[in-house]
């Protein structure tokens, strides 16, 4: 299973791992890359020193390409961007800001740029500005979300941005979802939630267990009425947050309530007072496996689904 996106990055399968805050480190990124995908180190909430250390850890564990998710609103974004260029990371994905001003800088350093986009307007801008590829991210995914669903967003973007490679993300957690995206015309997929449930992922074991035991109706979106939606599992924290949101609390108050909860939930295993950020496709997230097993199963199931689709007579 190879295509132009695989050739762009020099990877075996058109699968990249989401750059999840407090969940994606050098070990996970290296494991995904060694398994044939493209791993990503998440930099959200992290110091520049931590990012550099994780880049070097990943380099010690793999000779395959891996990337960095650059959070453009982070206070240390310039320092992290400089480190990415100095360390010669293969590519970056971007979030929480406008990626266009960063494209030239990264290209001068030989770093490919793959922005994550939530709408057609930004997709057209990054395509026209020389991005190497893009990820369209639907609201079905975990963490910060936009207003569009994955299928609708993919339909809208593909007709506007050819020939730039486009990857689909948001609620894609197995090979069937990957096959659906490829049939629609995507060049690959980005998966975050599925890689939370891997042996190499540093997410707390209590958090992994909560995800394994969750069912389709267990996720909620906080902050959606204020255009700062975050999808996560329902718990004591989300109930407090949503009560405050519905009662008219200020955005500043809501931001204070959410501060530090991702670390609590994903790293520290506080499944009641932390934010457990995961996508909607919960019922296929039911076992913890090594990254290699995860990717091999995704690819096998995608191939089987595509073969079945070829037999449909219209």
The whole-number pLDDT of residue 95 equals: 85
C-alpha angle 3-36-149 in degrees, rounded to nearest 5: 65
Sign for the pseudo-dihedral over CA of 294, 5, 58, 67: negative
Chunked into runs of 10 residues, the chain (314 residues) has average pLDDT values of: 91 96 95 98 93 97 96 92 95 90 94 94 92 95 92 92 93 96 96 97 97 96 92 97 96 94 95 96 96 97 91 72
Written out in words, the top-level CATH class of the domain with range 4-201+286-303 is: alpha beta
Rounded CA separation 148/123 (Å) = 13
Residue 115 near residue 99 (C-beta atoms within 8 A): yes
For the chain, the maximum distance between any two Cα atoms, rounded to a whole number of angstroms, is: 56
Q: Is this prediction's pTM over 0.85?
A: yes
CA distance 48 to 260: 18
Which residues, at least 6 apart from 141, have a Cβ–Cβ distance to it below 8 Å?
18, 150, 169, 170, 171, 192, 193, 231, 279, 280
Give the Cα separation of 124 and 161 in Å (integer): 6
User: Where are the domains positioned within the chain?
Assistant: 4-201+286-303, 205-267
Q: How many CB atoms lie within 10 A of CB 314?
A: 2
């Amino acid at each position: 299973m190879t295509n132009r996106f695989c050739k762009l990055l020099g990877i075996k399968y058109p699968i990249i791992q989401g750059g999840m805050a407090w969940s994606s480190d050098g070990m996970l990124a290296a494991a995904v890359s060694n398994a044939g995908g493209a791993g990503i180190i998440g930099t959200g909430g992290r110091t520049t020193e931590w990012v550099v250390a994780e880049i070097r850890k990943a380099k010690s564990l793999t000779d395959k390409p891996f990337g960095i998710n650059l959070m453009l609103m982070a206070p240390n974004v310039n320092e992290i961007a400089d480190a990415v260029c100095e360390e010669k990371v293969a590519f970056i994905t971007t979030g929480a800001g406008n990626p266009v001003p960063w494209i030239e800088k990264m290209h001068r350093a030989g770093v490919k740029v793959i922005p994550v986009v939530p709408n057609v307007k930004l997709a057209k801008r990054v395509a026209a500005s020389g991005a190497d590829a893009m990820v369209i991210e639907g609201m079905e995914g975990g963490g910060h979300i936009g207003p569009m669903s994955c299928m609708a967003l993919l339909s809208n973007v593909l007709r506007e941005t050819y020939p730039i490679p486009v990857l689909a993300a948001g609620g894609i957690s197995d090979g069937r979802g990957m096959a659906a995206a490829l049939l629609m015309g995507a060049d690959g997929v980005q998966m975050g939630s599925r890689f939370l449930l891997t042996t190499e992922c540093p997410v707390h074991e209590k958090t992994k267990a909560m995800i394994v035991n969750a069912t389709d109706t267990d996720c909620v979106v906080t902050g959606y009425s204020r255009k700062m939606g975050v999808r996560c599992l329902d718990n004591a924290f989300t109930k407090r947050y949503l009560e405050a949101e519905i009662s008219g609390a200020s955005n500043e108050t809501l931001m204070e309530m959410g501060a530090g909860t991702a670390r609590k939930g994903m790293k520290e295993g506080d499944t009641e007072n932390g934010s457990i950020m995961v996508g909607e496709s919960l019922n296929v997230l039911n076992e913890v496996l090594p990254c290699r097993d995860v990717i091999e199963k995704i690819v096998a199931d995608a191939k089987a689904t595509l073969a079945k689709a070829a037999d449909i007579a219209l």
